[in-house]
Amino acid sequence: MNVRSFGMMALGVLAAAGCQKKTFTPPENRPPETFVAVRSPLTDTVSARVGLAWYGNDPDGEVVGFHYIWLFGDSVVVDTAFTTATTDTFVLPVFDSVRTYTFRIWAVDNEGAWDPTPAEVSFPMVNTPPEVSFAFQSLPPETTLPAVTFFFEAHDVDGDTTITDLLYRLDTDTVWTSVPYASHYTLTGIPPGSRTVWFRVADFTGAVSDSIAFSWVVEPLAGTLLVILDHVDNRDAWVGLVENAGWGPGSYTVWEFPRHESRNVQDFPEIRESFEAILFSGFTRVFWASDEYDPALTSLELFTYPDAQGRRLFDELLNQGGTILLSGQSALQDMATDFVQSRLGVDPYDTTRVVANRSVLAFYGAIQRESGAPSGLPDSLTMSPGVTILTQPDGFLSGAYTPLYRAHFLINGQDSVLTAAIQRDNLILFTFELAKTNGLGNAPQVLQVLLP
């Protein structure tokens, strides 16, 4: 090898070195860092419910999610695989004694690396007793029958679903009675007299709320006639009608439908429980009365629409041979149509025609007994003193019923005579208020004949 060739070779080596690919060594992935913050107000101890927020930073990539666990000492209380959320509220099992729980969380980056130094926060947690109150404007009247439905609002800072029991005690009870918690409860068979009832609620640990109390007067059920007053303005007129028909005090019972101001009619499924307990306490006759013109305000629909579950009660009473007499201008419109047709035999055409023409119907003058009506009924009724016209009654042309009374209506200014009281089997409908048609003093006789 000469110098030249060595030189060439050296050049070749240098050239080769210059062309050699440099090996790429990426920087090692750097793990993310995790932070956690408490959103709930913190005191010495917290309730079972705690709100937390967290986030993570990754210096050379991005955080794609988190793993977290809840620990009590060394044992895992809540374990999760993975979450992309950055906030949550947790409800942990709490007890009467303080337990310290630890929340530990790891951010995970886009290369799957966990934060080697997870964030954590610890809480001393203790159970808090629940609280209960009567639902807004839900209290029963000062005087009731021996079955009453109460409505509650109960809360527990450890979670409302942790409330498990309702406890109640009447002043005549020596011990508390516990039932599964619901937002209403119906007491039945309450001893008559001046009563006080106390309620409390308990959570799943047995922690109980303070008690709430209600004091009222419970009247006994009496007789076999139940008078339902459904939005009645002139209570004295209706009760007077009943008493003048021969039912003395203590021989009948009045049940006043809760007025809408105090309870929404949608609560009927609950109210029904107390009504049912009362209705099937030996009553064989029901007199439903209303002097409200607006069927949206009265509640007969709840006893006649199948989905309100109240029809079952009327059906059962009728099927047992009980008699129901309905009297009021809103009665026909407030009832379910199929109930009117099947139970009263009213023609569907009549129902729709009457409703359609309702605004042009005016009812006036004397009311006369129909020829086929029971002969014991008064031959004619007339308006009570001071009542000159009933504005919105209903009238029928014909149907599979026994006509009881016909009356003069003004239809588009024309005098027309239509049937205004009908009977089919043991269901009777007066589309006007008997309490307002006692001008001759003989309206009580109607009750004597039809509700013997």
Closer CB to Ca ion, 176 or 204, in the complex: 204
Cβ at position 163, least distance to Ca ion in Å = 8
Minimum gap (Å) between residue 282 Cβ and Ca ion: 44
Q: How far is the CB of 84 from Ca ion (least distance, A)?
A: 17
DSSP annotation string for 351-379: HHHHHHTGGGEEEEEEEEE-TTS-TTS-S
User: How far is C-alpha 167 from the geometric centre of its chain's CA atoms?
Assistant: 20
Least distance between Ca ion and beta carbon 85 (Å): 20
The kind and range of the H/E element at 7 are helix 3-19
Indicate the residue among 29 and 224 with the shorter CB distance to Ca ion: 29
As a whole number of angstroms, the distance between CA 289 and CA 438 comes to 15
* Range 32-61 burial, b when 16+ CB lie within 10 A, else e: bbbebeeeeeeeeebbbbbebebbbebeee
Do 287 and 228 form a contact (C-beta atoms < 8 A)?
Answer: yes
What is the phi/psi pair of residue 77, to 5°?
Answer: -95, -45
Footprint on this chain of Ca ion (rule: CB under 5 A) = 29-30, 58, 60-61, 109, 127-128, 156, 158, 203
- Shortest reach from residue 16's CB to Ca ion, in Å: 38
Residue 362 near residue 391 (C-beta atoms within 8 A) = yes
Nearest distance from C-beta of residue 158 to Ca ion, angstroms: 4
Q: Closest CB to Ca ion among 96 and 294?
A: 96
CB 119, min distance to Ca ion, A:
17
Percent helix / strand / coil, the chain, rounded to 5: 20, 35, 40
Q: Which residue number, 202 or 317, has a Cβ lying nearer to Ca ion?
A: 202
The smaller minimum CB distance to Ca ion, of residues 97 and 388, is found at 97
Which residues are paired to 410 by β-bridges? 362, 415
Q: Which two tokens stand for residue 227?
A: 């008078």
Least distance to Ca ion, CB of residue 59, Å: 6
Residue 130 CB, nearest approach to Ca ion (Å): 5
Nearer to Ca ion, 131 or 219 (CB): 131
Contact criterion met (CB below 8 Å) for 32 and 107? yes
Is 128 or 274 the residue whose CB approaches Ca ion more closely? 128
| Angle between helix 348-356 and helix 337-344 axes, rounded to 10 deg | 130
Considering all CA atoms of the chain, what is the largest pairwise distance in Å, rounded to the nearest integer?
A: 152
- Report the residue number, 127 or 382, with the smaller CB distance to Ca ion: 127
- Quick check: 189 and 146 in contact, CB under 8 A? yes
Q: Give the residue with the Cβ less far from Ca ion, 43 or 371.
A: 43
β-pairing verdict for 163-170 and 177-180: antiparallel
Residues in the chain: 452
Q: How far apart are CA 34 and CA 70, in angstroms?
A: 16
Report the residue number, 60 or 256, with the smaller CB distance to Ca ion.
60
**Closest separation between CB of residue 176 and Ca ion, Å?**
18
Q: What's the CA gap between 140 and 186, in Å, rounded?
A: 11
